[in-house]
Amino acid sequence: MSRNIELTEDIKAYVSKRVTNLEKLLTRIEGSGGKVMANFEVSRSTNHHKSGEVFHADCLIKIDGKEFYGSADKEDLYQAVDALKDSLYNEINKNKDRAQTLLYRGARSIKKMMKGLSKKNPFTSKY
């Protein structure tokens, strides 16, 4: 989607080419049974300025009820798309890593409890 700018085939091709990292990440999520919806928007914030931050890129990605939003304002449309892609990729990976860390931490505490090294119950967090 675009606002205050004509969406040409070159812009569409650049956006689809630059979000391949996101696409790889999202297809893995879809392959494991998750639902993914992405809304991408590029716009020009003003029509009369010739310099300054005038291009804006937004993206909202919904993955199984979780929302990831990113936006970027740059002097060049292509730089805005690149900055947006990087910030969204980092945000989605951070969420994935956080979930894995919690899983591993819980598994380690259960293993310690089973070995008798810790008397702390991982389910109630009491000794």
Q: Which domain holds residue 15?
A: 2-92
The predicted model scores a pTM of 0.63
Instruction: Let me know if residue 85 belongs to a domain.
Output: yes
Over residues 15-61, the pLDDT tens digits come to 777 776 677 777 776 666 667 777 778 888 766 656 666 888 888 88
- Residue 103 CA: distances (Å) to CA of 10, 65, 99, 108, 124: 43, 20, 6, 9, 16
Q: Is it the case that residue 117 has pLDDT exceeding 80?
A: no
Over residues 60-113, the pLDDT tens digits come to 888 777 888 888 888 888 888 888 888 888 888 787 777 778 888 888 887 877
- Residue 84 CA: distances (Å) to CA of 18, 24, 30, 41, 66: 10, 16, 21, 11, 18
Instruction: Let me know if residue 123 belongs to a domain.
Output: no
Residue 57: the pLDDT is 85
CATH number at residue 25: 3.30.160.100
Instruction: Let me know if residue 80 belongs to a domain.
Output: yes
Which residues are CB-contacts of 119 (< 8 A; sequence separation ≥ 6)? Answer: 113, 127
Instruction: Let me know if residue 57 belongs to a domain.
Output: yes
CA–CA gap between residue 3 and residue 56 (Å, rounded): 10
Residue 85: the pLDDT is 86
Instruction: Let me know if residue 32 belongs to a domain.
Output: yes
- Residue 11 CA: distances (Å) to CA of 14, 22, 40, 105: 5, 17, 12, 44
Instruction: Let me know if residue 40 belongs to a domain.
Output: yes
Instruction: Let me know if residue 120 belongs to a domain.
Output: no
Structurally, how many domains does the chain consist of? 1
Instruction: Let me know if residue 87 belongs to a domain.
Output: yes
